[in-house]
Amino acid sequence: MTLFERSAKELQELIHSKEVSIADLTKEAFDRVEKLDGDVEAFLALNKEKATATAAELDQVPFEERGPLFGLPIGVKDNIVTEGLETTCASKILEGFNPIYDATVVKKLRAAGMVTIGKLNMDEFAMGSSNENSAYKTTKNPWSLDRVPGGSSGASAAAVAAGEVPFSLGSDTGGSIRQPAAYCGVVGMKPTYGRVSRSGLVAFASSLDQIGPITRNVEDNALLLETISGVDPMDSTSANVEVPNFAAALTGDIKGLRIAVPKEYLGEGVGEAARASVMEALKVLESLGATWEEVSLPHSKYALATYYILSSSEASSNLSRFDGIRYGFRAENVENLMDLYKETRAQGFGNEVKRRIMLGTYSLSAGTYDAYYKKAQQVRTLIKEDYDKVLADYDVIIGPTAPTPAFKIGEIVEDPLTMYANDILTIPINLAGVPAISIPCGFEDGMPLGLQIIGNYFDESTIYRVAHAYEQATDFHKQTPQIWEVK
């Protein structure tokens, strides 16, 4: 049992009735980490001293000055910079790097009174679908320790699923919030591109990256997204649109909702259990007054290739800043500047990161630019138009988040193309830029499955309303892994 089985609202009730203090909640997080993280291996760095001091200060703030997430513990993915708290992107090349400012989202967490517990493991530079590409450790799936938690925000999902923290932030470039949320049986939202500031998010693919919340239920997720959203002068791609009160959308009423179900999302490569769980979910939504129809997103099959060319091209440019000179790892015993660059990067980056930098550099180089990079940008237009067309006629698009539940550690790590195929149902959403959530919708052999709900640009409210209505009608989100009950 842990306090963290409660929602934010329930935790605030306990705080207001003085049954627990913010100091107690912070201590609960570090106690849970101490007991569980030897098995789960989610945290790369802990913020114990500062968090404990902060919690004591927050306990002194009058109740009327507090918001809905005040005093609650959160874990932060290690590609989001935190002043004075080591941030590595799970890469050797950033070993020992202490950021000198906070990411905009981290400033917003602090302004909301949230307590940062520590930094969460990931695939190196967010490149991967299993957390096996971390240079430091492989996070385990709390539902079965021999399985991956997904990636790249694998530890952000695993820490919430294990009840180490009730909230976390992840980032999603091609599915990196939604796929681990599905694998770990928690709620993960990739907001509309531009909804959340990327200032202080170490860039992987700038036209695709978005930070988003991972939680145990939909309402907490809506509260956290509202907290981190908004236009930011430090990110010129953040959108100047109003931030709604997302939690106010959770009315439970989805009568008349029009759902599109793309046949490409239930076709070849999608497992029988994932398909069946989606069909069951559609029945639940129908019983609540929604209707659904099959549609087609004809360019879906081209999304994977488009994504790998575009994201790798952007990464090859973004990651050129890691040169061993201003921060992080620096190779020794080199002759000249060129050697310093080459040796620092060769020794500092892992294999997957090198592979993608090379793929990106190749796609952008003279002679291949038109055939790969420009072609992929044109196909991206076609993919985006598929979504625009369907979302003109329907409120949401629904399908599975991933083709299968979590696979075993070591199963496909050496096979890049098979590994990439895990993200086939999440990648097109990043290319289109629309928002999407993954919520728990069933199990296969004891491992969680995720339902993906995709919405229109800046219409996260409708997604949350549907997700919440479904959550109220089911109890998948109430189930916890065995590890939850600490030995």
Burial of residue 204, with CB atoms counted within 10 A of its CB: 0-12 exposed, 13-18 middle, 19 or more buried = buried
Residues 182 and 467 sit within 8 Å (Cβ to Cβ): no
* Options 176, 199, 229, 438, the catalytic residue: 176
Q: Which of 52, 377, 462, 474 binds another protein (CB under 8 A)?
A: 377
Q: Residue 162 or residue 208: which is nearer to another protein going by CB?
A: 208
CA 47 → CA 26, 30, 54, distances in Å? 11, 9, 10
Nearest in space to 264 (alpha carbons), one of 278, 251, 284: 278
Burial of residue 128, with CB atoms counted within 10 A of its CB: 0-12 exposed, 13-18 middle, 19 or more buried = buried
Position of tokens 């003109």?
A: 392
A 10 A CB-CB count for 330 gives 16
State the DSSP string of 217-269: SHHHHHHHHHHHBS-BTTBTTS-------GGGG--S--TT-EEEEEGGGSSTT
User: Which parts of 430-469 interact with another protein (CB under 8 A)?
Assistant: 431-433
Minimum CB–partner distance for residue 233 and another protein (Å): 6
Residues 437 and 453 sit within 8 Å (Cβ to Cβ): yes
Q: Which of 14, 20, 276, 382 binds another protein (CB under 8 A)?
A: 382
Minimum CB–partner distance for residue 1 and another protein (Å): 42
To the query of whether residue 77 is one of the catalytic residues in this protein, the response is yes
Q: Which of 325, 393, 408, 485 binds another protein (CB under 8 A)?
A: 325
Question: How does DSSP classify residue 372?
Answer: I
Site string (113-152) toward another protein, x via CB under 8 A: ----------------------------------------
Minimum CB–partner distance for residue 339 and another protein (Å): 7
Q: Which of 6, 66, 137, 384 binds another protein (CB under 8 A)?
A: 384
Q: Which of 302, 389, 411, 473 binds another protein (CB under 8 A)?
A: 302
With H, G, I as helix, E, B as strand and everything else as coil, classify residue 120.
strand
To the query of whether residue 461 is one of the catalytic residues in this protein, the response is no
357 binds another protein (CB under 8 A): yes
Token readout for 2 is 């842990």
Minimum CB–partner distance for residue 216 and another protein (Å): 30
Of 103-111, 138-146, 295-303, 474-482, the window that binds another protein (rule: CB under 8 A) is 295-303
Position of tokens 């440019």?
A: 317
Q: Which of 61, 337, 472, 479 binds another protein (CB under 8 A)?
A: 337
Of 27-35, 136-144, 258-266, 379-387, the window that binds another protein (rule: CB under 8 A) is 379-387
To the query of whether residue 176 is one of the catalytic residues in this protein, the response is yes
342 binds another protein (CB under 8 A): yes
3 binds another protein (CB under 8 A): no
Q: Which helix (H) or strand (E) holds 62?
A: none
**β-strand 258-262 against 396-400: which pairing, if any?**
parallel
| Interface ranges with another protein (CB under 8 A) | 97-98, 100-101, 193-194, 207, 233, 236-237, 239, 299, 301-302, 304-306, 308-309, 316, 320, 323-328, 330, 334-343, 345-346, 349, 354-355, 357-359, 361-362, 365, 368, 371-372, 374-382, 384, 416-417, 431-433
Query: Which residues are identified as catalytic?
Result: 77, 152, 176
